[in-house]
Amino acid sequence: MMKIFSCFQKSFFYFILFLFFIVTHISFLPKVYAANTTFNALFFTPAVGKNDYAMLDGTRVLYPWQLYVSESTTYAYHPLDLRQSGVKLQGVIDQLIVTHAAFALGLTNWLQLGAQVPYVVYNRFQDPNTIPGTGFTNKMSLGDVEVEAKIRLLDLTRHKVGIAFLPYATLPVGKSTYFVGDATYAFGGKLLFDWVPHPKWLITLNAALQYNDRVTFYNINYRERLFLGLGSRFKISPLFSLFAEVNAFGPMNSNFFNNGDLNQSEALAGVAIDSSRIGLGAKLAGGTCISCGVGGARVRGVAQLSYRYMNNNYRSRDKQYDNAILALFDKTVSTTAFYELQESCPADAEEYSPDTHDRRCPKYYELRDVAALYFSCPDAEKFDPKIHDPACPKVFSLADKYSEFDLYNMVTLSVSQMKLRCPNNPEDFDSALHDPGCPKYYELASVVELMDTCPAPEAFAQGIDSPRCPKYYELRQTYASAEWSVVEAMAGRDSDGDGILDFDDACPGQMEDKNGIADYDGCPDNKRSVIAGGQVLAARPVYFDFNSWDLGRDAVAALDDVVAVLNQNTWIRTVKISGHTDSIGSSAVNKLVSERRSGAVIKMLQARGIRKSLKLDPVAFGASKPAAPNNSAYNRAKNRRVLFTIR
């Protein structure tokens, strides 16, 4: 399928090039009209779509079906003066204010369509064809409409270099007699280049060739025009960036670099604000001409407001884009970034796509799979491939295969998940319900608890120091030095700054929100269902009527909360759905009723959209595990329930 898509992409690109070749060579057809004696003096045209500059185009395209709109206003002082050998002959446009309404829409991950409509609000114009000049008067009008397509050829987030091709056409709706539009259609194509030498630094180059009918006016004579642009952007923060750019154009002939009367170039510098959270952006820039020629403004100011439609998917992809740029330079993954990957990467590695997901996901999958073995595998000398997971040897020499960062992320992930999987009290552990790695987790927790209590083994004093210290020394010997360094770091580090040390924090990469709901587990709460002590605790318990397995309205609402929590926590692979009854009735009947209750809940979870990668195991306990004494109708109602235990 990917090969077919790649072939289609290439075919579409060659088709666009073919059309561009045909259109731009219409000049070979015979002409039936004279050369134009006016031309378009609107030097500035804003970049359309998600760009880092005022005028330069970057290689980035909008996401599929993402909409972009912007309104740009530019002021130019002396943007059109007729010159001969550097001497001003006559002013044509003294001052100019133009607004540009721009629109863009992403169609695929590599194709974006756009258009812009300029409106000349203020044009202090003097007709150069009238001798002597008639004096300056204001001429308001439309400018030429431009339509374009941006085709990304090389992805910046994969290679540090991005390349795109942008064919465009202008429609002659502007007033050419006021020098704010061409008299005929114009066609062109741009090659766009981006390079990131540093995660916060971007360098951009544009090169374009535009064709229109020949213009012969005073000493101005051209048919094709060449555009060149160079810019640099530095990102100060996720919200603010600074940029500078130089743009130049002139006739495509041997005098391009020599004729200062016909060539013009302008420098712009400014600040950009871009909020990915709400999609609003703004730019403010100013500059002047370097080589003024006939069309370079002595003073130019630019102000722009823009909006990109943003939903949760687009926000996530913006974050993935930034992370992919960062990953080009830093191969390590911080603890916070690691837990962000846990939320953003698909739970099933087979669903991962480098075009839509964070490109660090494969690294996350590798560390996640090893972390899942950390507590479930025995020590190396007790390993039996006939009994244990054949992948267990991966955890026997972690320090030899992984960096300190990776090792820390693996161990913290494994510890945080076991904290949620296992009951808080080791005495409540049930091998039929809970993760088989819980006993090993309890041992490590006891080691960490005694870390600051027990002295060095040679300094241990019987009767003075804790009698648990010998066990601590014994367990300490089971950890390699690199792993023990990680455990020591976890016992003293608070990665998310919520006041809960990483070893005691079920979410080391997310701050606890202190809202009165499980405030000491270290995880932000959704004020509904939470994960604690090896269970998903529904905000409203799932209760049943006597001898019934029908789910009422309140039970369905509670299950919706459970679905939301389980779909969000993609690290959970298996949940045991245990059905319970009160003590009325025979054991056989109660066993059957509890079995049907767990089955009814599983069917409802599936109907309410539980992710398919999650395994739901029904367990029937009958009346064997009451939540309250069966000595009253009120207590018996509490026992007719279903629980959700993380495996």
Q: What is the pLDDT of residue 113?
A: 95
Residue 285: other Cβ atoms inside 10 A: 21
User: Do the beta carbons of residue 268 and residue 244 sit within 8 Å?
Assistant: yes
Q: Same CATH topology for 33-312 and 526-646? A: no
Locus of tokens 């996901």: 361
Measured CA to CA, the distance from residue 253 to residue 221 in angstroms comes to 10
Q: What is the 3-state secondary structure (H, E, C) of 39-88?
A: CCCCCCCCCCCCCCCCCCCCCCCCCCCCEEEEEEEEEEEEEEEEEECCEE
The answer to whether 70 and 102 have CB atoms below 8 angstroms apart is yes
Q: pLDDT tens-digit profile of 499-517?
A: 777 777 777 767 776 666 5
Which two three-digit tokens encode residue 475?
Answer: 């367990």
What single letter denotes the amino acid at residue 564? A
Q: How far does CA 419 lie from the centroid of its chain?
A: 29
Q: What are the tens digits of pLDDT across the range 183-236?
A: 788 899 999 999 999 999 999 999 999 888 777 766 676 778 889 999 999 999
Lowest mean pLDDT among 160-164, 296-300, 479-483: 479-483
CA distance 278 to 348: 30
- Amino acid 442: pLDDT: 84
The Cα 529–Cα 563 span in angstroms is 9
Query: What are the CB-based long-range contacts (under 8 Å, 24+) for 309-312?
Result: 309/66, 309/67, 309/68, 309/279, 310/276, 310/277, 310/278, 310/279
User: Which secondary-structure segment (H or E) carries 449?
Assistant: helix 438-450
Is the pLDDT score of 252 beyond 70? yes
* Residue 49 confidence (pLDDT) above 80: yes
Answer left, alpha or beta for residue 85, where phi above 0 means left and psi between -120 and 50 means alpha. Answer: left
Task: State what percent of residues in the chain have pLDDT above 90.
Answer: 23
Instruction: Please state, as a whole number, how many other Cβ atoms lie within 10 Å of the Cβ of residue 632.
Output: 10
Mean pLDDT check: name the lowest of 397-411, 482-496, 606-620.
Answer: 482-496
Pairwise CA distance, residues 100 & 70, whole Å: 8
SS3 254: coil
pLDDT for the residue 426: 83
Question: How far is Cα 388 from Cα 176, in angstroms, rounded to an integer?
Answer: 81
Task: Determine which of 29-33, 226-230, 249-253, 530-534 has the lowest per-residue pLDDT on average.
Answer: 29-33
Could you give the 3-state DSSP secondary structure of residue 197?
strand
Cβ burial 468-483 (10 Å sphere, 16+ → b, else e): ebeebeeebeeeeeeb
The more confidently predicted of residues 341 and 4 is 341
Task: Indicate the domain borders of the chain.
Answer: 33-312, 331-492, 526-646
Q: How confident is the model at residue 110 (pLDDT cuts 50, 70, 90)?
A: very high
Query: Which pLDDT band, with edges at 50, 70 and 90, does 404 fall under?
Result: confident
Dist CA 18 CA 5 (whole Å): 20
pLDDT at 13: 53
CATH assignment of 526-646, given 1.10.10.10, 3.40.50.300, 3.40.50.80, 3.30.1330.60? 3.30.1330.60
Going by pLDDT thresholds of 50, 70 and 90, the confidence category of residue 520 is low
Query: Do residues 175 and 139 make contact, with C-beta atoms less than 8 angstroms apart?
Result: yes
Find, among 97, 114, 99, 102, the residue nearest to 70 by Cα. 102
Confidence band, pLDDT 50/70/90 cuts, at residue 305 = very high
What gap in Å lies between CA 25 and CA 61, rounded to an integer? 28
Query: What is the structure's pLDDT at 26?
Result: 38
Q: What pLDDT, on the 0 to 100 scale, is given for residue 131?
A: 59
Strand 240-251 to 67-84 pairing? unpaired
Type of residue numbered 222: Y
How far are the Cα atoms of 332, 405, 438, 439, 514 from residue 419, in angstroms, in the given order? Answer: 25, 21, 9, 12, 19
Q: Is the pLDDT of residue 71 over 70?
A: yes
| Of 382, 387, 345, 381, residue with least CA distance to 366 | 345
Q: What is the mean pLDDT of residues 360-383?
A: 83
Helix pair angle (361-373, 335-344), 10° resolution: 100
Q: How far lies 162's CA from each of 203, 357, 370, 515, in Å?
A: 10, 18, 35, 46
Of residues 449 and 55, the one with the higher pLDDT is 55
Residues in the chain: 647
Listed range (64-68, 131-135, 612-616) with the worst mean pLDDT:
131-135
pLDDT of residue 5 exceeding 70, the answer is no
Region of residue 128 (left: phi > 0; alpha: psi -120 to 50; beta: else): alpha
Query: Has residue 175 got a pLDDT over 70?
Result: yes
pLDDT value of position 8: 46
Tell me how crowded residue 130 is: count the other CB atoms within 10 A of its CB. Answer: 9
Q: What is the pLDDT of residue 322?
A: 84
Q: Which stretch of 89-103, 222-236, 329-343 has the lowest confidence by average pLDDT?
A: 329-343
459, 463, 468, 474 alpha-carbon torsion, rounded to 10°: 40
CA dihedral 383, 388, 391, 393 (to 10 degrees): -10
pLDDT at 139: 85
- Measured between alpha carbons, how far is 476 from 89 in angstroms, rounded to an integer? 89
Q: In sequence order, what are the beta bridge partners of 146? A: 116, 170
Structure tokens at 322: 């930034």
> Distance (Å, rounded) from C-alpha 495 to C-alpha 489?
10
Mean pLDDT computed over 319-331:
79
Query: Which pair of tokens denotes residue 125?
Result: 């114009």
- What values do phi and psi take at 456, rounded to 5? -60, 150
Nearest to 487 by CA among 502, 505, 472: 502
Q: Which residue, among 39, 371, 56, 79, has the nearest Cα to 214 in the 3D structure?
A: 39
Yes or no: domain 33-312 corresponds to CATH 2.40.160.40: yes
Question: DSSP strand E in 252-380: where?
Answer: 264-274, 280-291, 299-308
Angle between helices 587-607 and 553-568 (to 10 degrees): 60
CA dihedral in degrees (28, 30, 35, 38; nearest 10)?
Answer: -70
pLDDT of residue 19: 46
Cα–Cα distance measured from residue 487 to residue 445, given in angstroms and rounded to the nearest whole number? 10
* pLDDT tens by residue, 446-480: 777 777 778 888 787 877 777 878 877 777 777 76
Residue 435 has pLDDT above 70, yes or no: yes
d(CA 267, CA 272): 16
Tell me the average pLDDT of the chain.
Answer: 81
Residue 133: is its pLDDT beyond 80? no
Report the half-sphere exposure of 153 (CA within 13 A, side-chain side): 16
Written as six digits, the tokens of 263 are 């060539």
Mean pLDDT, residues 518-544: 68
